Chains A and B, each alone.
Chain A
């Protein structure tokens, strides 16, 4: 199975600060169809996960544009340009290129 390793495990930020989360895959997530099925999810406290970004860099409808995703093959990054209070929670990367679908280890974003 594909292992997704996220760093850092915990991130402390002030409101307005820009932060980045890394997701490294144990194998390339470039699919034979040319797409890379690496998504980012946010799980707020007490809530179910929600999709933020799909296929590396595509913003899901309704997600603020302070979120952005980048990367390729095995190295991916989620950036939040100006953290807001509603962004607190646990961020997960997720891959759907290789079966079975797997999730990253999670990064908890908290207020400093």
Chain B
């Protein structure tokens, strides 16, 4: 099992960014997937979840601004980040299933002017 995030970077407040998580080593379409973030030096915060049937759930802090999606043909999970705020600065991880049994290496998103 391997999860590889990409798409992070430095972005100005109010702008957008799209993160990707490329999955391999398992049947991607059969698993729900999470996005979880970690503020540098601090703890872990759940961001969003998409089920195997593409039902979605969001944390209140990102609802209406972030969109989680998946492309099973490409074995890829996405997170569209809009209207970014400084408090969205974090390392973003994708993780597999309800147990979060596998995690990617993370991608850094920095929101700053």
Contact = CB atoms under 8 A, between A and B. Distances in A.
A19 interface: no
B101 A103 contact: no
Interface string B72-99: 0000000000000000000001000011
Interface in B33-66: 34, 36, 43-46, 49, 57, 59
Size bracket, chain B contacts: 10 to 19
B99 to A, nearest CB: 5
Contacts, number: 48
Contacts of B34: 101
A39 B59 CA distance: 20
Contacts of A37: 98-99
Interface of A: 37, 39, 41, 47-51, 54, 60, 92, 94, 96, 99-106
Interface of B: 34, 36, 43-46, 49, 57, 59, 93, 98-106
